[in-house]
Amino acid sequence: MDLTRRKLLKMGMLSVCGTMIPLGALEIFKPEALASSLVHPYSQKKRWAFVVDTTKCVGCGMCVKTCKLENEIPFDAEVQRTWIERYVLTKKGDVLIDSPHGDRYGFTKNDPEGHDLKDEDTLKGFFVPKLCNHCEKPSCVQVCPVGATYKTDDGVVLVDRKWCIGCGYCITNCPYFARFFHPVFNTAEKCTFCYHRISKGLKSACVDACAFGVRKIGMLNDPDSEVFKIITTQRTAVLKPEFGNEPHVFYLGLDHIVR
Amino acid sequence: MNHAWRPLILIVGLAAVLLTVRMFLVPSDFMAKNGDYKYQWHRVGNEKFWRDEFTVKHKGREFCKQCHEDKIELVADSGHARVQCENCHVMFNPEKKGHPVDLKADFGYLLDIGIDRSRELCKRCHSKLPYRPKEFTSLTKGIKPFNMIDPQEHNPGEECVDCHDVHRTGFK
Amino acid sequence: MDLGHVHGELWTVKTLFTYPNEYIYWTIHIVIYPFITGLVAGAFVLSSLYHVFGKDELRPVAKFSLVFSLALLFIAPTPLLFHLLQPQRAINTMLTPHFYSAIAAFNLVYLGYMAIVISEIWFAYREYIVQQSQSRTGVFKLIYSALTLGSTDISEATLKTDHKIVKILAAIGIPAACMLHGYVGFIFGSVKTVPLWKTPLMPFIFLISAVISGVSICIVTYIIGMKLSKIIVDNETVQSMCKALKWFLVVAFVLEAIDLVFHAYLAEESWDILSDVLFERFGFRMFVVQWGFGMILPLILLTIPGIKTLRAFIAGALVLMGVFMMRWDVVIGGQSMSRSLAGFLDYHMPILPTSFEAFKEGLSAVIILLSAPFVLLYLLNLLFPVFQGQRLVKREPEKS
């Protein structure tokens, strides 16, 4: 008799839990869904991708400024959807990295990390623009407890400002720190590739703002797009591939000191 | 009825109430799109917000061309051909804004337009840094040396626009 | 409204290169949350030791730890509400749970566990509830009558059933308690971007430290409760609790040490900066306060034979402090190294409530949250006397 009661209690709890789980959650039990393709799958998919040619970047920060204004991130707030990092290798062998104010005011002095460097003290240096990598397997989306962030059919990762609870789990799970809390809406915020622009045939605001041709956006499967041409003919790299997110911002001229 | 069942009935009842309430509170368009519960579990209506409702603010040269065709042509022929009007003329500092026509009321243009004559603006690209690319490769006319100056030595205190015509990229 | 204000700026100090958006986003409440949840799990396991394994010497604290576990359980999610930037939307986790997220299952684990604890309390106190509903008057009569759930049968046979069910629930409760807290460990262990957290040992480290903190708080609160109500402390009970604490302490220490050794020996890319955080920035806190005073010293105190009340109290208090420090070192320490592996972030908890955010994320909120379980225990004690039915040996009033 005790056993049946215990059974019933268990069944009751199970059915309560069970009804709360949407059917889609059971996907985890499908082995073929788990078997990820071992070869990198950029190819036929109608999907947005981004190319950053770091060899051309001068660090003027016009893209950062434009992005902040286009996307309504309060200009003075120390958070940004895109930013530029400066890497300088000195003759002493130090690697100096900085990104003051995300470079929204531009790099105008040779003062990485506040060191006043003479020109002859630097061996090499370059700028690396960063933005959300719109991963194929975004860990930030995976960990959202409420489904407030998601990947669109064309591969862009967005945040639902009306549904986000502000727990910060997605921010913690982004290897690139592309996410932050919006100072006004108090919800998770990130680069959208300017989804409102690219869906209308425009280019992302940062791409338009770059006079040096550093940034390019296009469809992965569109043979006419510059993105397709670069990815299929040149040697590109992605940031932090070891996390398994399959980032879709491709870099030209990346260096091993880039973080 | 055995008393021992009562807490269980209470718990199951509460759970049933919770589940019923939940049915009413979940937005009707909340779903796992394409059956992808891992990455596409969301309120589908939100896509529309980012795609359509979010306003385009930087409207590019075509917008400015409506009145400033002369300037657009001048720039298009200069070294600044790739530089958007909005790069220099959209002000993040509202004190510097100023445009003879109320762009917001008349054109629905939401950004602050103005003229920034400060050296700081020009320095963003033209201040000399040893690791800045020495050549400018984005012009259709071919590769050109990129003009950089040392702001400490290059006429400190003067405004760049006193000598330089930035639209023509030449001297005044 | 100050539009330039960013969440995280108030308490984060950055040095060297950190990403521009990088702040300490998980702050003091994420320290308190696993701490309180750990106390819940530990207190419940302690009560189960009596109910399931028949450790009779734990009888005086069995009911106490059970009710205390409930008081803590009620408070456990409040730090999370303080932490959320949109607490009014917390309900969304139940409306549209995304079970790929480690934290989405929180509601199920939490509510399921709460159902077990409340049911167990109901069965354990049913006889008392029925008696009270018949003898009390006024509001209390109403409350107790409602609590009987309409069943006033306290015959020998039904009480026997009650005992059996309590035993069953206590048995189910042990894996449930382990899940509740092992799960909290999983929330951290599954964050792949934070090298300090990313270890499969995390659930076990959290679980064992939960048990030691739960047992400790029972020792401490039991002794204080006895002193306050002027009842003689049952030395056998204390000794039994101390014995449990001692063995779990050893396991906890071993687990934490293994974790550190593996990080050091594997020496992955992040180890350079991680070791800097652990040995320099958190060196004193971790090795002296957390390990030295929080584990080794209590272990020595507990190993020396002939434990008396005072020694047990000191050891328990030290372990509690040590476990709180451990939560701090894990949560804050993990975020103290920049994800760029080239810089540091230091956390300065707001002390004075100079703004709403400084209040919400600062010392004031901590004091409120950490004292709330005791207030709740006091209130619950009015309904379910935790020390009822034990050897009430009143102290002789001292003669002046």
pLDDT at A36: 44
Which one-letter amino acid corresponds to residue A158? L
Helix (H) / strand (E) element for B88: namely: helix B85-89
A98:C4 CB<8 A: no
pLDDT at C77: 93
pLDDT category at C53 given cuts 50, 70, 90 is confident
Task: Please name the chains neighbouring B, where neighbouring means 3+ C-beta pairs under 8 angstroms.
Answer: A, C
The answer on pLDDT for A75 being more than 80 is: yes
Residue C9 lies in a domain: no
Q: What confidence tens digit (pLDDT) does each residue in B79-118 have? A: 999 999 999 999 998 888 889 999 999 999 999 999 999 9
The answer on pLDDT for A25 being more than 70 is: no
Tell me if chain A has a CB within 8 Å of the CB of B105.
no
A166:C89 CB<8 A: yes
B25:C126 CB<8 A: no
Best CA proximity match to C34, nearest among C187, C190, C215, C257: C187
- What the block records as the tokens of B3 is 């008393």
pLDDT at C51: 87
Nearest-neighbour CA in chain C from B130: distance (Å): 21
Give the integer Cα–Cα distance in Å for C196 and A259: 18
Give the integer Cα–Cα distance in Å for B62 and C308: 86
* CA nearest to B126 within chain A: A108
Q: What are the chain A neighbours of C183 within 8 Å (beta carbons)?
A: none
pLDDT category at A16 given cuts 50, 70, 90 is low
Hey, what long-range contacts does C91-95 have (CB within 8 A, 24 or more apart)? C91/B25, C92/A146, C92/A148, C92/A163, C92/A165, C93/A145, C93/A146, C93/A165, C94/A20, C94/B18, C94/B22, C95/A146, C95/B22, C95/B25, C95/B26
Q: What are the chain C neighbours of A22 within 8 Å (beta carbons)?
A: 97
Residue C13 lies in a domain: no
Which one-letter amino acid corresponds to residue C320? L
Helices and strands (H, E) in chain B, number of each type: 8, 6
C149:B7 CB<8 A: yes
Half-sphere exposure of C351 (CA within 13 A, CB side): 1
The answer on pLDDT for A1 being more than 60 is: no
Sequence-ordered list of residues with C-beta below 8 angstroms from that of A104, at least 6 positions apart, any chain: A61, A64, A65, A68, A75, A80, A83, B92
Best CA proximity match to C169, nearest among C35, C62, C58: C62
pLDDT category at A17 given cuts 50, 70, 90 is low
* CA nearest to C168 within chain A: A6
Quick one: what percent of chain C has pLDDT higher than 90? Answer: 71
Task: Give which of A128, A139, A180 to mutate to test C binding, by max C Cβ within 10 Å.
Answer: A180
ipTM: 0.91
Average pLDDT of span A12-34: 56
Query: In CATH, what number is assigned to the domain containing residue C72?
Result: 1.20.1630.10
Give the integer Cα–Cα distance in Å for C255 and C205: 6
Q: Please answer whether residues C220 and C316 qualify as being in contact, where contact means their C-beta atoms are separated by less than 8 angstroms.
A: yes
pLDDT category at A208 given cuts 50, 70, 90 is very high
pLDDT category at C390 given cuts 50, 70, 90 is low
Q: What confidence tens digit (pLDDT) does each residue in B37-71 have? A: 999 999 999 999 999 999 999 999 999 999 999 99
pLDDT category at C85 given cuts 50, 70, 90 is very high
- What the block records as the tokens of C154 is 């306290």
DSSP string, B36-58: -TTT-EEETHHHHIIIIISPP--
Average pLDDT of span A86-96: 95
Q: Please answer whether residues A225 and A219 qualify as being in contact, where contact means their C-beta atoms are separated by less than 8 angstroms.
A: yes
C151:B3 CB<8 A: yes
B6:C149 CB<8 A: yes
Using DSSP bridges, classify how beta strands B30-32 and B41-43 pair: parallel, antiparallel or unpaired: antiparallel
Helix (H) / strand (E) element for C14: namely: strand C12-16
Number of domains in chain C: 1
DSSP B97: B
- Which of B58, B131, B137 faces A208 most closely, judged by CB atoms? B58
Better pLDDT: A43 or C231: C231
Distance (Å) of CA C280 to CA C266, C287, C384: 20, 11, 48
Better pLDDT: C55 or C85: C85
The answer on pLDDT for B166 being more than 90 is: yes
pLDDT at B39: 95
Task: Give which of A69, A170, A257 to mutate to test B binding, by max B Cβ within 10 Å.
Answer: A69
Residue-wise over A37-72: b if at least 16 C-beta within 10 A, else e? eeeeebeebebbbbbbbbebbbbbbbbbbbbbbbbe
pLDDT category at A20 given cuts 50, 70, 90 is low
pLDDT category at C397 given cuts 50, 70, 90 is very low
pTM score, whole prediction: 0.90
Give the integer Cα–Cα distance in Å for A65 and A129: 13
The answer on pLDDT for C47 being more than 60 is: yes
Q: What confidence tens digit (pLDDT) does each residue in B116-135 have? A: 999 999 999 999 999 999 98
Best CA proximity match to B138, nearest among A58, A54, A128, A214: A214
- Which of B41, B80, B128 faces A150 most closely, judged by CB atoms? B41
C21:A79 CB<8 A: yes
Average pLDDT of span B19-48: 94
Q: What are the chain B neighbours of C145 within 8 Å (beta carbons)?
A: none
The answer on pLDDT for C232 being more than 90 is: no
Residue-range definition of the domain harbouring residue C187: 27-383
pLDDT category at A46 given cuts 50, 70, 90 is confident
Give the integer Cα–Cα distance in Å for A193 and A203: 9
Q: What confidence tens digit (pLDDT) does each residue in B139-161 have? A: 888 888 999 999 999 999 899 99
pLDDT category at C392 given cuts 50, 70, 90 is very low
Q: What is the CATH number of domain A44-259?
A: 3.30.70.20
Q: What is the CA angle C285-C78-B41, rounded to 5?
A: 105
Which one-letter amino acid corresponds to residue B118? S
Q: How many CB atoms lie within 10 A of CB C106?
A: 23
Q: Please answer whether residues A155 and A248 qualify as being in contact, where contact means their C-beta atoms are separated by less than 8 angstroms.
A: yes
pLDDT category at C179 given cuts 50, 70, 90 is confident
pLDDT at C395: 42
pLDDT at A42: 54
pLDDT at B97: 85
Nearest-neighbour CA in chain A from C212: distance (Å): 28
Q: Please answer whether residues C145 and C133 qualify as being in contact, where contact means their C-beta atoms are separated by less than 8 angstroms.
A: yes
pLDDT at B96: 83
The beta strands (E) that lie in chain A are given as 48-53, 83-90, 95-98, 122-130, 149-151, 157-159, 180-181, 188-189, 215-219, 249-252
Quick one: what percent of chain C has pLDDT higher than 70? Answer: 96
Strand partners, C16: C343
DSSP string, C160-212: HHHHHHHHHHHHHHHHHHHHHHHHHHHHHHT-TT-TTT--TTHHHHHHHHHHH
Which of A50-59, A196-205, C227-236 is predicted with the least confidence, judged by mean pLDDT? C227-236
pLDDT at A94: 93
The answer on pLDDT for C396 being more than 80 is: no
pLDDT at A87: 96
Mean of per-residue pLDDT scores for chain C: 90
